[in-house]
């Protein structure tokens, strides 16, 4: 079978379960694709082919014995280099952590393995996972396979680049301020940020995260089909007692009316015409699928949520973050922290308390709003994908990047699931839209995403 690497994760899983394709053949195809394109893209920065093939052979042996290794049996996937995988360094793109070798797996890795996946490699991230651009002094720069003059996004830029190029059929990413959604958007694939507590997380190799990371950072899937996101979410969301915030919520909730709110310019966002056109096109696709779509001018606040999110993320321990970035000497990490000094420097215990109080009010407002609509359709970013390293082109460029990412930054504060759906290209650049649903209603995001996806051209891998 030729071009196995082009197939969806669900198709590969079906073929392997039916014994029409072996896990070893799928792994060999993924490794061959990695060898063909990764030297240019630098999406995967850690991989051990012999271990990949050995893992695939165990899946084939289990199938031969009549066992069911899981819903992802034999499917080649990637995981991000900022989560623990036993025997690999959890570098997070940082030279200071190049020898931080994990002794145990994170819950995400364990869950993917329980589902039968074959982890073909570990993907790149910017230093400390701070940026929407993926480069660092340890592993180097990752390219966007659609257009190497554009950012692949960040911080899961390696993950999205790999999926778009056919290195693996499903990728793991993390998202604290858009790090799953923006790379999916920039690379022309789909990415799901689950609700807080949906996917268990823990890195035994490092210290406990500060409160901002604990209550806003999540792991989730990136893929070329929305159905594959469903498959990936189900695998990742298995329980694990190591995460005190994991929630045993069902993956499918009760039926609700198929209603959507379309907001092109939330909080006065300066939305680019190409993005506005993509949003209206997505709304038309939903209407064609039987959804009721209301265009609205306002949503619960997002702009104010951004400052709170940045304070919780970077302000709690800011001075130590700056010292570590300076020790690392990574220009992107230094610029990211310096750009948020107004909010993050001097963040106090009183500031933390006030931020958490305000977070409760904003979350309540969003939860009440989501009682009116199954999903909200809004920009993923106000602009088409940025030029590579645009945030390092001076203060004005940096501010422009952050202003465009308001929905990326603000939504994690309120803990809702959000899905970025690629809708095609505009003027040669990938474009997409973002869907938001109530807590633990990823199924509604995915249902709307499938309706939008089905009425557009399917995503293809790069050659």
Which residues have a catalytic role annotated? 80, 155, 179
Nearest to 112 by CA among 66, 173, 175: 173
CB atoms near residue 22 (< 10 Å)? 18
Query: Quick one: CA torsion of 268, 270, 273, 274, rounded to 10 degrees?
Result: -110
What's the Rg (C-alpha) of the chain?
A: 20
Residues 84 and 90: beta-carbon distance below 8 Å: yes
Residues in CB range of 333: below 8 A, 6 or more apart: 126, 127, 128, 130, 131, 136, 325
The pair of structure tokens assigned to 458 is 């399917």
Burial of 196 (0-12, 13-18, 19+ CB in 10 A): buried
Nearest to 380 by CA among 408, 360, 402, 340: 408
Residues 133 and 388: beta-carbon distance below 8 Å: yes
- In terms of DSSP H, where are the helices of 83-200? 107-114, 157-165, 181-187
The Cα 219–Cα 237 span in angstroms is 9
3-state secondary structure of 269: coil
What's 198's DSSP letter?
Answer: S
The Cα 188–Cα 421 span in angstroms is 8
The Cα 129–Cα 216 span in angstroms is 14
3-state secondary structure of 300: coil
CA-to-CA dists, residue 22 to 76, 140, 186, 297, angstroms: 12, 34, 33, 52
3-state SS, 348-391, equals: CHHHHHHHHHHHHHHHHHHHHHCCCCCEEEECCCCCCCCECCHH
The Cα 299–Cα 331 span in angstroms is 36
Beta bridge partners of 387: 150
Instruction: Establish how many alpha carbons lie within 13 A of residue 28's alpha carbon, considering only the half-sphere containing its beta carbon.
Output: 8
3-state SS, 119-138, equals: EEEEECCCHHHCCCCCEECC
């Amino acid at each position: 079978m030729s071009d196995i690497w082009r197939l969806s994760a669900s198709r590969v899983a079906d073929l392997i379960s039916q014994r029409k394709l072996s896990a070893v053949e799928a792994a060999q195809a993924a490794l061959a694709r990695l060898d063909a394109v990764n030297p240019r893209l630098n999406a995967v920065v850690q991989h051990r082919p012999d271990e990949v093939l050995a893992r695939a052979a165990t899946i084939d042996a289990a199938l031969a014995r009549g066992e069911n290794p899981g819903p992802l049996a034999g499917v080649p996937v990637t995981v991000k280099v900022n989560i623990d995988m036993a025997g690999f360094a959890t570098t997070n793109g940082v030279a200071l952590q190049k020898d931080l070798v994990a002794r145990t797996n994170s819950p995400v890795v364990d869950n993917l393995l329980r589902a039968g996946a074959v982890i073909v490699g570990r993907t790149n991230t910017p230093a400390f996972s701070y940026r929407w651009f993926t480069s660092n002094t340890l592993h180097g720069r990752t390219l966007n396979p659609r257009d190497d003059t554009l950012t692949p996004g960040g911080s899961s830029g390696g993950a999205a680049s790999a999926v778009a190029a056919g290195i693996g059929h499903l990728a793991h990413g993390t998202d604290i301020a858009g790090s799953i959604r923006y790379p999916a958007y920039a690379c022309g694939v789909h990415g799901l940020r689950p609700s807080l507590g949906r996917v268990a997380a823990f890195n035994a190799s490092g210290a406990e995260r500060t409160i901002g990371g604990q209550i806003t950072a999540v792991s989730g899937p990136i893929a070329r089909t929305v159905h594959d996101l469903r498959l990936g979410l189900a695998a990742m969301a298995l329980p694990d007692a190591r995460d005190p915030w994991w929630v045993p919520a069902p993956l499918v909730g009760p039926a609700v009316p198929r209603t959507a709110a379309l907001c092109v310019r939330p909080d006065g966002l300066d939305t680019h015409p190409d993005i506005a056109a993509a949003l209206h096109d997505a709304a038309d696709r939903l209407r064609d699928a039987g959804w009721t779509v209301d265009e609205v001018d306002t949503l619960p606040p997002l702009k104010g949520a951004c400052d709170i999110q940045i304070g919780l993320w970077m302000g709690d321990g800011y001075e130590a973050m700056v010292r570590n970035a300076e020790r690392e000497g990574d220009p992107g990490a230094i610029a990211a922290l310096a750009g948020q000094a107004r909010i993050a420097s001097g963040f106090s215990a009183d500031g933390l308390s006030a931020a958490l109080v305000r977070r409760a009010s904003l979350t309540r407002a969003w939860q009440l709003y989501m009682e009116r609509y199954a999903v909200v359709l809004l920009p993923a970013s106000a602009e088409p994908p940025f030029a590579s390293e645009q945030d390092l082109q001076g203060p004005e460029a940096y501010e422009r990047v952050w202003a465009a990412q308001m929905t990326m930054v603000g939504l994690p504060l309120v803990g809702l699931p959000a899905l970025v759906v690629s809708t095609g290209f505009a003027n040669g650049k990938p474009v997409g839209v973002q869907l938001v649903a109530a807590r633990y209603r990823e199924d509604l995001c995915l249902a709307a995403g499938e309706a939008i996806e089905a009425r557009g051209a399917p995503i293809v891998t790069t050659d």
